[in-house]
Amino acid sequence: MAKFKTLDDLGEVAGKVALVRVDLNLPMQEGRASDVTRVEAVRPTILELADKGAKILLLAHFGRPKGQRNSTMSTSYVQDDVEDVLGKEVMYISEVSGPVVEQSIGILRNGDIGLLENVRFWPGEEANDPEFARAIAAHGDFYVNDAFSAAHRAHASTEGLARLLPAYAGRAMEAELKALDAALGNPQAPVAAVVGGAKVSTKLDVLENLVGKVQHLIIGGGMANTFLAARGVDVGKSLCEHDLTATANRIMDSADHAGCTVHLPYDVVVAKEFAANPPSVRICNVHEVAADEMILDVGPQAVEALADVLKTCRTLVWNGPMGAFEIEPFDRATVALAKTAAALTEGGSLISVAGGGDTVAALAHAGAKDDFTFVSTAGGAFLEWMEGKQLPGVAALTA
Instruction: Give the catalytic positions in this structure.
Output: 38, 199, 357, 380
What is the rounded CA–CA span in Å between residue 369 and residue 360?
7
Which residues 6+ apart lie within 8 Å of 84 measured at CB? 36
* Amino acid code (one letter) for 199: K
DSSP 113-163: EEEE--GGGSHHHHTT-HHHHHHHHTT-SEEEE--GGGTTS--IIIIIGGG
Give me the helices (H) in the chain, please. Answer: 37-51, 79-86, 99-107, 123-126, 130-137, 171-180, 204-210, 221-230, 245-258, 300-311, 332-346, 357-365, 380-386, 392-398
Which residues 6+ apart lie within 8 Å of 275 measured at CB? 327
Per the CB < 8 A criterion, the answer to whether 285 and 241 are in contact is no
Relative to beta strand 28-29, strand 32-33 is antiparallel
Beta-carbon count within 10 A of 28 CB: 16
**CA–CA–CA angle 228, 231, 234 (5° rounding):** 60
Q: How far is CA 376 from the centre of its chain?
A: 4
End-to-end CA separation in angstroms for the chain: 12
Q: How far is CA 76 from the centre of its chain?
A: 25
Tell me 109's DSSP state. P
Per the CB < 8 A criterion, the answer to whether 150 and 158 are in contact is yes
Please, which residues bridge with residue 92 across strands?
115
